Structure 1
Amino acid sequence: MNWISIVAIYALFWVMSAFVILPIGVKTHEEMGLEKIPGQADSAPGNFRPGVIILRTTVLSALLFGLYYANYIYGWVTRHSFDFLISPPNS
């Protein structure tokens, strides 16, 4: 696999992982018992920690990409694994 492909696919895994990680552990000001600023949305996070989110996203995306790359090398799941989804042609 070309290194540019590796970087591009890892970036896709990172972005998808970020959307999975973002809502985990986030609490609103009301849940934390903090006072809201006038005009603030009710759903605004009260404990937003971007460093932790970036770290968790990086770890998750590295694990998922590792599984993807291992499958690429060893061929555990190939396109032929899904042949049961295609109905046989009528003769």
Structure 2
Amino acid sequence: MTVNVIWVDHGREPQCAPNPNFPNGVDVDLRRDKEQPGCSADLPYPAKRCGHHLVQCDVCGYSVAITTAGRPDDPRRITLPCKSN
């Protein structure tokens, strides 16, 4: 499966401290049920600064935007649910 990721730079530096519970980033799983089929992609980590990733599956068309802050607690991997099933 192919997942396209485009990062959109908002041109702002982070204003808040990172969440100390996630010093190595977070993995985001958008499936309601972890047994549900899905596809995953690594995100450019850490992001350069505040912005968002546009993520889309080429197979089923599911798409999402996920924000970044240019901090250690940024998302590093995303799992999308499969819309085809």
Give the TM-score taking structure 1 as reference length.
0.21
Relative to its length, the structure with more strand (as a share) is 2
Larger radius of gyration: 1
Give the TM-score taking structure 2 as reference length.
0.22
